[in-house]
């Protein structure tokens, strides 16, 4: 291959970018750009954030997994069913799981990077059936699967901060990350995309694909202001979009799994 003298400056620039994307801070490696973080790095960041949430009982009192083992298995089986599909590209990389926050006063579900979902007893007791449960989980899977969470984190935190989380040097930052994720709001477009992704996950299963729609209607009927809906804009147009996307998936005759769901919910404290 013949290279002209004009080619060498371009090559030098490429090599420079390649070898300077990570820099040394003494003996520490510091990532400088979002692109420096691999999928495995994002998984590890999520695991660290999950641990920080578990170690913050004042903000996140967690349901005892040993005492309520059967219920924990029940939830994670539903999550596993929808994440172990070809639609979820990270199914063999991320550690997909769901953890219950014991707080009846909050109706929340949120995600952390790496496939970690958190759901409150407040929203578990508010919804009525398995179709609604699996719709909530499928909606939240979208944010971790499609890197929306990581992109928002890079908007909030610098790459150096994220690097410090990854390499265990972020004790000053970590306590704020869990509450930030819990309260994180999404745009209408992001919410509708998550609804569509969730319906795609649910469609092959024998559940009503309009679970989110029925949750919105339930909140309207009970005149209840839900934290989860406040951070994920919900109006008549959202209901209409869900109906149009789900039209080929299920109908009102599809089972909702209400009796089985209530049998598990009744065991909660």
Question: Tens-of-pLDDT digits for all 269 residues of the chain?
Answer: 454 444 444 444 444 444 445 544 445 667 777 888 899 999 999 999 999 999 999 999 999 999 999 999 999 999 999 999 999 999 999 999 999 999 999 999 999 999 999 999 999 999 999 999 999 999 999 999 999 999 999 999 988 899 899 999 989 999 999 999 999 999 999 999 999 999 999 999 988 899 999 999 999 999 888 999 999 988 889 999 999 999 888 666 788 999 999 999 999 99
Residue 55 lies in a domain: yes
Residue 28 lies in a domain: no
- Name the nearest CA neighbour of 229 among 117, 87, 127: 127
Give residue 111's domain range.
39-265
The shares of helix, strand and coil residues in the chain, as percent rounded to the nearest 5, are: 55, 10, 35
Tokens of 240: 């209409």
Residue 4 lies in a domain: no
Strand partners, 99: 118
Using the 8-state DSSP alphabet, how is residue 127 labeled? S
The number of distinct structural domains making up the chain is: 1
Residue 18 lies in a domain: no
Residue 217 lies in a domain: yes
Residue 12 lies in a domain: no
Tokens of 90: 């990270």
Residue 13 lies in a domain: no
Residue 27 lies in a domain: no
């Amino acid at each position: 291959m013949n290279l002209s003298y004009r080619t060498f400056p371009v090559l030098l620039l490429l090599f420079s970018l390649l070898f300077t994307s990570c820099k040394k801070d003494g003996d520490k490696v510091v990532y400088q750009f979002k692109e420096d973080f691999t999928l495995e790095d994002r998984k590890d960041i999520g695991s660290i954030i999950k641990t920080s949430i578990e170690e913050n009982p004042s903000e996140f009192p967690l349901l005892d997994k040993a005492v309520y083992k059967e219920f924990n298995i029940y939830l994670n089986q539903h999550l596993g069913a929808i994440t172990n599909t070809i639609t979820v590209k990270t199914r063999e990389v991320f550690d997909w799981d769901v953890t219950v926050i014991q707080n009846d006063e909050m109706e929340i579900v949120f995600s952390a990077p790496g496939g970690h979902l958190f759901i409150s007893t407040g929203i578990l007791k508010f919804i009525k059936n398995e179709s609604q449960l699996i719709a909530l989980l499928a909606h939240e899977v979208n944010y971790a699967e499609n890197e929306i969470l990581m992109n928002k984190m890079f908007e909030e935190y610098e790459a150096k901060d994220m690097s410090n989380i990854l390499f265990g040097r972020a004790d000053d930052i970590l306590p704020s990350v869990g509450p930030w994720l819990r309260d994180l709001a999404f745009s209408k477009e992001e919410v509708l995309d998550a609804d569509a992704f969730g319906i795609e996950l649910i469609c092959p299963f024998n559940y009503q694909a309009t679970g989110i729609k029925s949750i919105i209607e339930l909140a309207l009927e009970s005149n209840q202001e839900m934290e989860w809906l406040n951070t994920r804009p919900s109006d008549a147009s959202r209901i209409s979009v869900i109906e149009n996307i789900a039209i080929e998936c299920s109908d009102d005759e599809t089972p909702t799994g209400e009796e089985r769901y209530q049998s598990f919910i009744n065991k909660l404290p």
